Amino acid sequence: MSGHSKWAKIKRAKGASDTAKGNQFAKVTKGLAIAAKSGTDPETNAKLAAAIAQAKGLNMPKATIESAIRKGSGAEAGGASYEEVTLEAVGKENVGIVIECATDNKNRTVAEVKKLLERAGWTSAAAGAVSWQFETKGLVLMPVVEAREEKTDWRKEDEAQKPIQKSELDEFELGMIEVPGVLNIERGDEFVEIETEPKAVGPVAKHIIDKLGFKVESYEMIKIPKTPIAVTPEIRAKVNDVTELLEEHDDVQNVWTNLEPEA
């Protein structure tokens, strides 16, 4: 089940870019509210479980998380009502892009995002024209170390979870084969990537934390291209530029491309 970590690298790069932006709290709050429309129990709502994990990763206060969930579910009045909007576009060399938005004004968001795409030389596509090239998976990231400081009082808080050691990976993989929803495990130099069925991402992360006692860096649902395409460095640079431009928009939650990950 092991191999070279690819999608985790994309996740880490995206996270590094997002951290530099001051609007991440607002984006995550929108994500919580939208996810809560499908149910307020993270045990049965994988999208909400992933949104909560993302919020905790930003050190969002528990009260803020709970308020966003209540507002999204309709249990608490106040705040804007958000809806999901997905846009698709095609660029040079048939590179496809899917933009997921959360907005309280669909017409405004669609117009602004399409204008950004047009200025960057991309052509808007009809719904489904690009998205069919992707499949949704769960992604759990675990930090891996050569050796860790051993303690007798490892606590259950996220920051105190013990990182897995490379010497423990063989046994870990064998045990994870039997965990429902686990599709693949890939090893990287700094992270272990566990690919799951979409609805299993929360339970798998919980199993690793609660049952095995290992640290989970993050978990979320991602879109993976079914057939990634290779492009020249010049085209890749242009795709990266438009991706960063789109991610700076307040209403854009995620941007997915069908590029082959960089080595």
The domain that holds 25 is classified in CATH as: 1.10.10.200
Residue 38 and residue 16 share a domain: yes
In a domain, 2, yes or no: no
In a domain, 156, yes or no: yes
Residue 182 and residue 114 share a domain: no
Q: What is the pLDDT of residues 37-85, one digit of tens each?
A: 888 888 888 888 888 888 888 888 899 999 989 988 887 777 678 899 9
Residue 129 and residue 139 share a domain: no
The total domain count for the chain is 3
Identify the bridge partners of residue 97 per DSSP, sorted by sequence position: 89, 257
pTM: 0.82
In a domain, 80, yes or no: no
Q: Which domain does 129 fall in, by range? A: 85-133+226-257
What pLDDT was estimated at residue 133? 94
What pLDDT was estimated at residue 10? 53
Distance CA 96, CA 74 (A): 35
Distance CA 220, CA 139 (A): 6
Residue 247 and residue 209 share a domain: no
Residue 199 and residue 175 share a domain: yes
In a domain, 78, yes or no: no
1, 173 contact by CB (below 8 A): yes
In a domain, 157, yes or no: yes
Residue 233 and residue 103 share a domain: yes
What pLDDT was estimated at residue 193? 92
CA-based nearest residue to 139, from 2, 1, 11, 18: 11
In a domain, 119, yes or no: yes
Amino acid at the residue 206: K
Distance CA 101, CA 48 (A): 16
Residue 250 and residue 196 share a domain: no
Enumerate residue ranges in the chain where pLDDT < 70. Answer: 1-22, 79, 151-160, 263
What pLDDT was estimated at residue 4? 40
CATH number, domain of 240, equals 3.30.70.980
Residue 217 and residue 234 share a domain: no
What pLDDT was estimated at residue 76? 74
Distance CA 49, CA 208 (A): 15
Distance CA 201, CA 197 (A): 7
Residue 235 and residue 215 share a domain: no
